Chain A
Amino acid sequence: MYEGVVQSLIDELGRLPGVGPKSAQRIAFHILAADADDVHRLATALNEVKEKVRFCVACGNVAEAEQCQICRDPRRDQSILCVVEEPKDVVAIERTREFRGRYHVLGGAISPIEGIGPDELRVKELMTRLADGSITELIIATDPNLEGEATATYLARLVKPMGLRVTRLASGLPVGGDLEYADEVTLGRAFEGRRQLDV
């Protein structure tokens, strides 16, 4: 145990995800040794992130204004919507630069064990967005695990009566990898999702 404030800093850092007691101690002493200006910048960033960042009223992504940058951008394709679990999934898809539509962030996946059902997710907001008919394709990009798949099945059934095109991201082999190293489940999925080779 360290004295007063040092220990409380270590305790606070230790509550962050992926930071154990040893790492918390190392970070705390790094901060102690660091330049006062650097530490102030970190403190300001921490404060501002809680004060300024809000969630986009349209898609649920992190935003600094009423709407996030993507929703405000008029060049985005208004007819395609991609459903993801978390804001960090938006960033991951944006990095590909393949997708030019807009997003809808659910804020998680259906998981009764954790008490998360459709009411705890931004499903109602999604239905409201789809109601006016301007969106013609819904891409479901929830995680390819059990909870993500269950959420995908649920959404697909929910929007089916609306008659729009619903797609699911493909699962399969990693690019640049070796076939022999793929696990059986992934390889099985890749077989299911195989497609015609156009030559």
Chain B
Amino acid sequence: MHVSHLSLVDFRSYAEVELPLDRGVTAFIGPNGQGKTNLIEAVGYLATLGSHRVAQDAPLVRLGAERAVVRANVVAGSEPDARAALLEIEITPGKTNRARINRAPASRPRDILGVLRTVLFAPEDLALVKGDPSDRRRYLDELLVARAPRFAGVRSDYERVLKQRNALLKSASAAMRARRGGAGTPDLSTLDVWDTHLARAGSELLAARLELIEALRPLVAKAYESVAATESGTSNVDIRLDYKSSLGPDVHLAADREHLAAALTDAAARMRKDELERGVSLIGPHRDDMVLSLGPMPAKGYASHGESWSFALALRLASYELLRTMGGDPVLILDDVFAELDAGRRHRLAELVSQADQVLVTAAVPADVPAALSGVRVDVSDGVVRRAA
């Protein structure tokens, strides 16, 4: 799969850009703050409906403009049976974004998910190892959506149930505090209902994550080995990837949705007192984590900087491997990562990704881009994008 043309209107620093792209490697070179990342951020937005840099849409729109437009021509497969699709999204902060496929309006932006698939490497990836559980949950959930776009719906349903349930717990908790000393408890009859819906949506998300971890485990171990190889002779560290659920360690034994839903309902009943006291939902996939370990030690806190990078790269490479087994090669985006890596990792990563259908790289100086990734060079300077001769 590759993007053959990208156009931006009022996106970030760009008033207007038309950028033809080829298969293979394209390197965007330019000093910091010139707009390299903005270009690949736009590609990522079409694939995930989100930015890897900011959670809100407002910063994506050029200062003074009302809305931004990102348009890309996406070619899937190779000649002679390549299929092209024109994807378009209009980003209007504070309003519903509008998407079009081949000039036909999609009823929801979500409908364009799955047409363009990307795997993005960025300096922020280090947070997958060193950061909060929420970073790892987002990694898992975004991969679920990239694999099967219907999970975008599952994810947003779960978030909606959670919001409603938390609102109820919060008001019940406030009512209890106000009544402390007095008799009576707040009306909890609707909490049971939200438990049911939390278990229903939560079990679907949980089952999918557990299945995903199983699929990722061998891929991450293999990718780690290729990235970290020769570091200490052969890397014979035992890499592990485990799911840590708020339901306890045995959660994977009940991997089908019905059992998980029952387990979630039971756990919610057990935790009710605590939940009412604190006014938040304490059970469910939103409290879970993915535990990465090197041998007997958890990676977080114990891994060296280099090991952490190897792990982060292995997670992204594993996503890439997983996605390419279904529906063809995703577009690889490497945003300023080479500057973060030592020579060995830089070289091995370049080797591993150089065969992808399309690789988009950003770097401040040409020397940051490994030789294995020589391809088209595009200079980005002061918002002007020019293909180098």
Contacts and interface: CB of A to CB of B under 8 A. Distances in A.
B90 to A, nearest CB: 18
A153 B197 contact: yes
Given A118-B187, A154-B193, A157-B192, A112 B164 contact: yes
A154 B153 contact: no
Interface in B37-82: none
A48 interface: no
A21 interface: no
B171 A112 contact: yes
Interface of B: 111, 150, 153, 157, 160-161, 163-165, 167-168, 171, 187, 189-190, 192-194, 196-197
B189 A154 contact: yes
Nearest to A111: B164
Contacts of A147: 164
Contact of B189 (A112, A113, A118, A146): A118
A110 B190 CA distance: 8
Nearest to B151: A184
A146 B160 contact: yes
Chain A, interface size: which category? 10 to 19
Given A113-B163, A146-B160, A146-B161, A154 B150 contact: no
B171 A154 contact: no
A150 B197 contact: yes
B187 A119 contact: yes
Interface of A: 110-113, 115, 117-119, 146-147, 149-150, 153-154, 157-158, 183-185
B168 A112 contact: yes
A113 B153 CA distance: 20
Given A113-B163, A113-B164, A153 B189 contact: no
B114 to A, nearest CB: 11
List the 6 closest A-B pairs by CB distance, nearest first.
Answer: A112-B168, A112-B167, A184-B150, A113-B167, A154-B193, A153-B193
17 contacts: A112-B164, A112-B165, A112-B190, A117-B168, A117-B187, A118-B190, A119-B187, A146-B157, A146-B160, A150-B193, A153-B197, A154-B189, A154-B190, A158-B189, A183-B111, A184-B150, A185-B153
A115 B196 CA distance: 20
A113 B196 CA distance: 18
A183 B157 CA distance: 15
A101 to B, nearest CB: 25
Contacts of A112: 164-165, 167-168, 171, 190, 194
B150 A110 contact: no
Nearest to B111: A183
Contacts of A146: 157, 160-161, 164, 197
A162 B164 CA distance: 28
A113 B162 CA distance: 10
Contacts of B161: 146
Given A118-B187, A118-B189, A146-B197, 12 more contacts: A112-B190, A112-B194, A115-B171, A117-B190, A118-B190, A146-B161, A149-B197, A150-B164, A153-B197, A154-B189, A157-B193, A184-B153
